[in-house]
Amino acid sequence: VTTGRIEAFSDGVFAIAITLLVLDIRVPKVAEGESLWHALGQQWPSYAAYFVSFATIGIIWVNHHAAFDRIARSSRTLLFVNLLLLLWVSSIPFPTSLVAEYLREGTNEHAAAAVYCATLLAMGATFSAIWIIAARGGLFIQELSERQVRVLLVRNLAGQVAYVIALGLAFVSAAAALALCGLVALYYVLPGRARG
Amino acid sequence: VTTGRIEAFSDGVFAIAITLLVLDIRVPKVAEGESLWHALGQQWPSYAAYFVSFATIGIIWVNHHAAFDRIARSSRTLLFVNLLLLLWVSSIPFPTSLVAEYLREGTNEHAAAAVYCATLLAMGATFSAIWIIAARGGLFIQELSERQVRVLLVRNLAGQVAYVIALGLAFVSAAAALALCGLVALYYVLPGRARG
Amino acid sequence: VTTGRIEAFSDGVFAIAITLLVLDIRVPKVAEGESLWHALGQQWPSYAAYFVSFATIGIIWVNHHAAFDRIARSSRTLLFVNLLLLLWVSSIPFPTSLVAEYLREGTNEHAAAAVYCATLLAMGATFSAIWIIAARGGLFIQELSERQVRVLLVRNLAGQVAYVIALGLAFVSAAAALALCGLVALYYVLPGRARG
Amino acid sequence: VTTGRIEAFSDGVFAIAITLLVLDIRVPKVAEGESLWHALGQQWPSYAAYFVSFATIGIIWVNHHAAFDRIARSSRTLLFVNLLLLLWVSSIPFPTSLVAEYLREGTNEHAAAAVYCATLLAMGATFSAIWIIAARGGLFIQELSERQVRVLLVRNLAGQVAYVIALGLAFVSAAAALALCGLVALYYVLPGRARG
C-alpha cells in the first residue's frame, strides 16, 4: 500500500468522522412552558464538544498531510500504526457524545471528560508514533536535521503534555478540561506552530 | 496542504453531509385508524427541509469548485477558514432536523426556522470570506479585474441579503423562511447566475 | 465543474448511501421465551430491502460510469440533473426503511412498497434524463449512431416499464413489488445487458 | 469500469463502514447509585466488537489493495463479485452491534456470535472468490507461478478455516469466538503473512 493510498483512505475516515459528529447534536424536546431557545441553550455542551472535536480532527487532518508529505515510502508497521490512529479518530464521536451528555446532566461529568481527554491523548500519542516510526525506519524523503527533529519533538510533546494536564483537570472541572482540549487545537492553528 | 487536497477533503465532507440528511426523515408511526399515506403527508416539513438543505449543499459544492478553480495556492488562513466553512456545512443536518420537527409540531417553529436561516447565513458569510482572503492574499491564478470583483461581490451579497431577510421572515412564518432559503439555492442554479 | 469532478462527487454519494443502508437493520429485541434466531428471522423484510436497495445503487453506480465515460464535457443542465439523481439516490435509505418496517408489521405495506417503487422509478427517470440531455446537448465524446440510441432507449425503457409495473404491483403484493425491483437490478447485471 | 474506479469506490465503502462502527457504541445510562465508570465497564463487549470489526475491515482494505495491485483489468464478473464483497463489508456494523448487545445481556449470545462469525466467513469467502475469478479470467498483470498460487491458497484457507472454527466456537462461548476473529485479523497483520 503506497503512501498516496494511505493518505486517501485516511482522508476519507477523517472526513466521515468529522461529519458524523453532528449526529450527536439531538433536536431538543421542549418541556411545557419552556421556549425552544431555552432548550437549545441548555444543549451548550453539545455545541462546545462538537466544536472542540471538529477542530481537533481538522488539525489532525492538516498535520497528517504535513507528516505524509515528508514520508517517501510506507512500511508494514507504519501502515498498521496509521490504522490505529484512524481507530482513535473514528471513535471520537463516542467520547464527544459522552462528555456532552454528562456535562448537560451535571453528574458524572468528571469521568466523561476524563474519557474524552484520554481518547485525544491516545490519538496524539499514536500520531507521535508515526513520526518516530518514520524516523527510525528511514522513511523520510530527506533526512531530518537534528534541529528539525528537536523542533518536531517539542511541538508534539507540547500537545501531549497539554492533554495530560487536561486529563488531570477533568477530575476537577469537566468544562475546563474540554476548554483546554479546544486550546490545544487552536495552538496548532497559529502560524508557525504546525506540528509538522 | 495543497488546494487539490483541500478540494478533495471538502468534497468528501459535502458528499457525506448531503447524504446524512436522509437520516432526519424517520419512518412515521401510524396512529390507529390512520392511513400511512396520511402519516407520510404529515411529514411534509421533513421533505421540504431535506430538499432545501440538499439543494443548498449542492450549490455550495458547485460554487466551492468555481472558487478553487481560480485559486492557485493555499495559505494557512485559507485552510482554516475553509475548515470553518466545512464546520457549518457538516452541521446542517442538525438545523434541518430542528426546523422539520418544529414545523410539524406547529409550536416553536419560529425559533427553529431562525436557527436554520442563521446557519445558512453563517455558511454563506464564511464562503464570502474565502473569496476575500484569496483576493487580499493574492492567491488567485490570475488577478481579477475590478469588474469581475464587482460582479462577484454583488452575487455573493444577493445571497447574504436574502438569508438576512429569511432570518427576519422566520419570526413571521417559518414555512416562508424555509421557502426563501430554497429560492436562494434555485437562484444560483439559473445559468449565468453562479456565485463563482 | 468537469465531468471528472462530477463522477468523483457522485461516487462519494453512491458509496455513502450504499453504506448507510445498514443503519436500517436494527438489533431485534427478543420477546420472553423467544429465541434470537426467531427474532432475526422475523426481520427478513429488512434483509430483503437491504439487498434490493444495495443492488440497485450498485447498478446505478456501474451505469453512471458507463454514461460518463461517453460524456466529454459538462453543462449547467447536466450538472443539476445529476444533483437531482443524487438526491434520489441518497434518499433511498428512507423508503428502504419504510418498506421493511411495514412489511414486517403486515399493515400499510402496500403504501410503503408504492413509495419505494416510486422512488426507484424517479431515480431511473432522472438517469434517463442524463442520457437525453447529453444527447441533445452534443456532450458525447463521439456521436452515437441511430442504432446505439435505439438500443440505449430500449434498455432504459425496459427498467422504467418494470418499475411502473412494480408500482402497480405494490398495491396487490408489497413483497412481489420488492422482488420485481430486485429482478430489475439482476437484469442489468447480466452480461451484455448493461444500461450503458 | 476500470480497476482504478473499483478500488476508489471500494475504498470509500471501507472508509465509511469502518467509521460507522462507532455509532454502535452508545452513551450508557447510569442507574441510580452507579458510577459512570462502572456503566462504561459494563459496555466492554461494544469496545471488543468495535475493535475486532475495525481490525477486520482494516485488513480487508490492505488485502484488497494487494489483490488489485496484481489485477490488470476488470471483468463483469469481477465487478459484481466485488460489489458482493462490499455488501458484506458494509453490513458489518449490524452483526457487530448484535454481538455486542447480546454479549452484554448475557442471553442469546451464542446465536449473535454465530451470525457475526458467519458474516466474516461470507466476506472472506467472497474475497477468495475475487482471487479465483482473477486467476481463471487471466486478469492478472503477470501470470502467477504455481508456488505463488499455492502460497495464496494456503493463506486464504487459513483465515477461512479459522472463521469456520470461530463459527463452531460461537455455540460454546461467544466471547471466545469473537476473540478468535480478532486473532485472525492480527494474524494477517504479522509481516510476511499478508493474504496478498
pLDDT tens track of chain B, all 196 residues? 788 889 999 999 999 999 999 999 999 999 888 999 999 999 999 999 999 999 999 999 999 998 898 898 888 899 999 999 999 999 999 999 999 999 999 999 999 999 999 999 999 999 999 988 988 888 888 877 878 878 887 888 899 999 999 999 999 999 999 999 999 998 888 755 444 4
The x, y and z cell numbers of residue D195, run together, are 493474504
C5 contact residues in B (CB cutoff 8 A) = 11, 65
Residue of B nearest to A35 (CA): B108
Q: Smallest Cα–Cα separation from B169: which of B110, B123, B121?
A: B110
- Which chains have 3 or more CB–CB distances shorter than 8 Å to chain D? A, C
A16 contact residues in B (CB cutoff 8 A) = 12, 16
Between D93-105 and D109-136, two packed helices, what is the crossing angle to 10 degrees?
Answer: 160
Considering CB atoms only, which of D13, D102, D111 is closest to C18?
D13
The x, y and z cell numbers of residue A163, run together, are 492533554
Q: Cα–chain-centroid distance for residue A16?
A: 14
With CB atoms and an 8 Å threshold, state whether A19 touches B13: yes
β-bridge mates for residue A71, sequence order: A140
Between B146-169 and B174-189, two packed helices, what is the crossing angle to 10 degrees?
Answer: 160
| A positions 65-84 inside 8 Å of B (CB) | 65-66
C194 contact residues in D (CB cutoff 8 A) = 76
Q: Is the pLDDT of residue C182 over 50?
A: yes
Predicted confidence at residue D194, as pLDDT, reads 42
Half-sphere exposure of D180 (CA within 13 A, CB side): 26
Phi-psi region of C192 (alpha: psi -120 to 50; beta: other; left: phi over 0): left
The x, y and z cell numbers of residue D140, run together, are 492478472
3-class SS at C122? helix
| B positions 141-170 inside 8 Å of C (CB) | none
Between CA B45 and CA B105 the distance in angstroms is: 10
Between CA D43 and CA A184 the distance in angstroms is: 30
| ipTM confidence score | 0.91
Between CA C167 and CA C178 the distance in angstroms is: 9
3-class SS at B71? strand
Question: What are the C-alpha distances in Å from A77 to residues A136, A162, B114, D57?
Answer: 11, 27, 51, 17
DSSP percent split of chain C into helix, strand, coil, nearest 5: 80, 0, 20
| D positions 3-62 inside 8 Å of A (CB) | 11-12, 14-16, 18-23, 25, 27, 30, 35-37, 40, 50-51, 54-55, 58, 61-62
B86 contact residues in A (CB cutoff 8 A) = 18, 58
Is the CA virtual torsion B121, B126, B131, B137 positive or negative? positive
3-class SS at B2? coil
With CB atoms and an 8 Å threshold, state whether B18 touches C13: yes
3-class SS at B171? coil
pLDDT tens track of chain A, all 196 residues? 788 889 999 999 999 999 999 999 999 999 888 999 999 999 999 999 999 999 999 999 999 998 898 898 888 899 999 999 999 999 999 999 999 999 999 999 999 999 999 999 999 999 999 988 988 888 888 877 888 878 887 888 899 999 999 999 999 999 999 999 999 998 888 755 444 4
β-bridge mates for residue B71, sequence order: B140
| A positions 111-140 inside 8 Å of D (CB) | 111-112, 115
Render A103-152 in DSSP notation, one character per residue. HHHTSSHHHHHHHHHHHHHHHHHHHHHHHHHHHHTT-BSSPPPHHHHHHH
Query: Torsion over CA of A71, A76, A78 and A82, rounded to 10 degrees?
Result: 120
Between CA D153 and CA D149 the distance in angstroms is: 6
With CB atoms and an 8 Å threshold, state whether A19 touches B94: no
With CB atoms and an 8 Å threshold, state whether B8 touches A11: yes
Predicted confidence at residue B191, as pLDDT, reads 57
3-class SS at C32? coil
What are the helix (H) ranges across B71-173? 76-91, 93-105, 109-136, 146-169
Answering whether pTM is above 0.90, one says yes
pLDDT band at C188 (very low <50, low <70, confident <90, very high): confident
Q: Which residues contact A158 (CB under 8 A, 6 or more apart)?
A: A187
Give D120 to chain A, closest Cα distance, Å.
19
β-bridge mates for residue C71, sequence order: C140
Mutation to test the D interface, candidates A3, A9, A46, most D Cβ within 10 Å: A9
Residue of D nearest to A24 (CA): D23
Question: What are the C-alpha distances in Å from C9 to residues A188, B19, B195, C2?
Answer: 30, 11, 20, 11
Distance, first Cα to last Cα, chain A: 23
Burial class (CB in 10 A: 0-12, 13-18, 19+), B174: buried
With CB atoms and an 8 Å threshold, state whether D108 touches C36: yes
Query: What average pLDDT score do residues D66-89 get?
Result: 92
Render D109-122 in DSSP notation, one character per residue. HHHHHHHHHHHHHH
Predicted confidence at residue D32, as pLDDT, reads 84
The x, y and z cell numbers of residue D176, run together, are 471466545
A53 or C73: which leads in pLDDT: A53
Predicted confidence at residue C156, as pLDDT, reads 83
Residue whose grid cell is 450549490: B59
Considering CB atoms only, which of A19, A36, A61 is closest to B90?
A19
The x, y and z cell numbers of residue C60, run together, are 446505478
Between CA C92 and CA A154 the distance in angstroms is: 50
Question: What are the C-alpha distances in Å from B92 to residues B37, B117, D9?
Answer: 28, 10, 25
With CB atoms and an 8 Å threshold, state whether A15 touches B17: no
Render A4-67 in DSSP notation, one character per residue. HHHHHHHHHHHHHHHHHGGGGSPPPPPPTT--HHHHHHHTHHHHHHHHHHHHHHHHHHHHHHHH
Phi-psi region of A88 (alpha: psi -120 to 50; beta: other; left: phi over 0): alpha
3-class SS at D16? helix
Half-sphere exposure of B145 (CA within 13 A, CB side): 3
Q: Smallest Cα–Cα separation from B139: which of B195, B86, B59, B70?
A: B70
Mutation to test the C interface, candidates D9, D61, D74, D110, most C Cβ within 10 Å: D9
Predicted confidence at residue C18, as pLDDT, reads 97
Between CA C189 and CA D130 the distance in angstroms is: 17
Between CA D71 and CA D141 the distance in angstroms is: 5
With CB atoms and an 8 Å threshold, state whether C18 touches D86: yes
Phi, psi of A97 (to 5 degrees): -65, -40
Predicted confidence at residue A193, as pLDDT, reads 42
Between CA B48 and CA B97 the distance in angstroms is: 11
8 Å CB contact between B96 and B55: no
